[in-house]
Amino acid sequence: MNTLRDLLLAVCFVLLSGSFRPGIVTAQDLSVTSPDGTNAVTFTLDDGVPHYAVTRFGRPVIAPSRLGVVFRKAPPLDHGLSVAHTARRSFDETWTQPWGEKKDIRNHYNELRIDLTDGGDSPRTMTVVFRVFDDGVGFRYEWPEQPHLKAFEIMDERTEFALTNDATAWWIPAFHRNRYEYLYTQSPVSAIDTVHTPVTFETGDGLYLSIHEAALTDYASMTLARTGGTTLEADLVPWSDGVKVKATAPHLSPWRTIQIADTPGGLITSYLILNLNEPNKLGDVSWVKPGKYVGVWWEMHLGTKTWSSGPKHGATTEHVKHYIDFAAKHGFDGVLVEGWNKGWDGDWTKNGDKFNFTEPYPDFDIAELSRYAGEKGVHLIGHNETGAGVENYERQLEAAFDFYNKYDVRAVKTGYVGWSNTSIFRTGTNGEKHGEWHHGQYMVRHYRKVVETAARHHIMIDAHEPIKPTGIRRTYPNMMTREGARGGEYNAPWGGGNGPEHLVIMPFTRFLAGPMDFTPGIFHLVDDGTEPANFTPSTLAGQLALYVVIYSPLQMAADEPKHYEANPKPFKFIEDVPVDWADTVVPNARIGDYLTIARKDRHSDDWYLGSITDGQGRVLTAPLSFLDRDRKYVAEVYADGKDADWQTNPLAIDIHRVLVDRGTVLRLRLAPGGGQAVRFRPATAAEAQSIPAYKE
């Protein structure tokens, strides 16, 4: 009996260790768990077809889902496969972000690698790698160098995500004209079609999931198409010829990511996507400096200034000096200037080949402005709008960044506005033009080229109309922030407004991918007839709270200086709030309803809190247990006034100071569309005696 038992154990050991010859096993389960045992992935090869499944505490999260790829002019690697080898390892490190929403990040996972082969006389190998974290799962495909798979073209991924119930989803549509710039829809999974990632779910059994990708490099970006019921399949953005990915082995796919949390706030404090990216490859990045900026921008969206030359041109030497003076007076690091270079005249959205990235308009003296800004401790922020003319931009890229180096421009905002989602035109070998998607492999390569070129010139990038973030800021820390969603500009007269729900959805969707240059801080919230009315769905206190809720290492105060000068008391919060954090906690969160975030300044002992709500007024509570023990803090509170309402009385604000400690439970009264912002700083001995203690 013991001999039979020992024989069975030996067979199991051989199967699980991968020490067997390919082709012997036709069905096999291999499992790997997260370090704390909470999450588990099981790989199954059923009759040669690969599947995976995910559980949490033994409960199904992702039901058995297919894996594999389909090639052009070659048999697919999605069936007829066998396991050639497996390997396991565990990894645990804590790494430090040079800047970020959290300084020190633990990267702890268990990994399972499975080499699959299709056998035959010309065998090909594809490796599937799973990394299982306590906060989710990442997996990807690898195609190692091999004799029978060299250059290849992928036509499809079979990657599925079979959700176990008809969860509630928050999503934006894919393959539509306006890239990622849509309001989010909330619906059951069974009602969605094809969507961009990140897409976020609240399951019927109380879990929160977000599906996205990490380390997108030389590959097509992934959308998700519902293929029936509650199963989603990877739908890669194609080249103009229909091919999804063009590659040569060795090659890697991005990581497909599933973040898993018991609370909505747990998604926000998950750093799985960053952990699946390679470490910083730029070396010394002391030249990368987070900061706040103002700029010649909002006026163009209001229509009081223009990007193009003429009597209302915004980028004039005199006008920019006004912004430089304001920035210097109030401690801002940079001044963004849009419309400074030739190419804006006419319909620039259809004439991207006209932009010149080294030739200013005659009324913009960049040499003088660089000198003037430098004297005041401020830097110009460049702007390279391409009008989707990517080839024109690439021809000038080195010269453009050399030009910026000459004038001490340390950050550049790029843009790719086109008249359609396929308005990126590529010249073929015979001179023909091909319309490429913003988010296919062609543009993934371009965006990376810009980041790498900028890095060689010690320039930081703020990309608009970008490829979505996938965590490459870890590898290239000069890739600071992006748009890639419906931002604050849609609150301009032409945009119709975002509505108060938008910013209590994006922290659980788009913001999970990475920092966003949303452009908050609009103070002119009441139409007084002095300028075109905007549609900013917020109270004044709500606008302040966004500087904590929205994470961006380059953060704009988007309104015109005159509106800040007219409201110095609330503006002080924008002057004070940092953009580089040591830690982030989430006391309150409900997707689409409300959010409270607290962050610790990386360079002081101060904490900051921001809380926002949708169109419904709420009273929330925030325990201040994140504060240091045995220490009193002055809470500088910027709260909605008693009668505040984003539609009827957005400017009502209550600014006061109280004494708090880590035992305090702060009452947050949020007006409809409103918010609250708080700075917590250690109290001096005198303040501890003179400032009244907080009372609910």
Distance CA 176, CA 481 (A): 23
Place of tokens 């889902």: 65
Distance CA 39, CA 306 (A): 54
The phi and psi torsions of 392 (rounded to 5 degrees) equal -60, -40
Contact 276, 215 (CB under 8 A): yes
Contact 594, 333 (CB under 8 A): no
Sign of the torsion angle spanned by Cα atoms 181, 187, 192, 195: positive
Q: How far is CA 289 from the centre of its chain?
A: 19
50: which 2 tokens?
Answer: 């690969």
Q: How far is CA 643 from the centre of its chain?
A: 35
228: which 2 tokens?
Answer: 């029936």
Dihedral angle at the C-alpha atoms of 303, 304, 305, 309, nearest 10 degrees? 80
Residue 631 per-residue DSSP state: -
Distance CA 364, CA 335 (A): 14
Distance CA 133, CA 199 (A): 19
Q: How far is CA 659 from CA 365, 433, 462, 581, 693, in A?
A: 50, 65, 38, 23, 4
Closest CA to 443 of 494, 399, 389: 389
First and final CA of the chain: distance in angstroms? 71
Considering the candidates 489, 501, 560, 636, report the single residue annotated as catalytic: 489
Sign of the torsion angle spanned by Cα atoms 214, 219, 220, 226: negative
Burial of 93 (0-12, 13-18, 19+ CB in 10 A): exposed
Q: How far is CA 469 from CA 131, 207, 481, 485, 556, in A?
A: 20, 24, 9, 11, 19
Q: In the annotation, is 394 catalytic?
A: no
Strand duo 245-248 + 424-427: pairing: unpaired
Place of tokens 């002019």: 73
Contact 409, 459 (CB under 8 A): yes
Q: Tell me which H or E stretch contains 151.
A: strand 151-157
Closest CA to 539 of 678, 679, 672, 677: 672
E strands in 229-270 = 231-236, 245-248, 251-252, 255-261
Sheet holding 245-248, edge to edge: 69-71, 151-157, 245-248
Answer left, alpha or beta for residue 23, where phi above 0 means left and psi between -120 and 50 means alpha.
left
Residue 490 per-residue DSSP state: G
- Count of CB atoms within 10 A of residue 77's CB? 25
Q: What is the largest CA-CA distance in the chain?
A: 96
Q: How far is CA 654 from CA 103, 641, 657, in A?
A: 32, 5, 10
Could you list the active site residues? Answer: 489
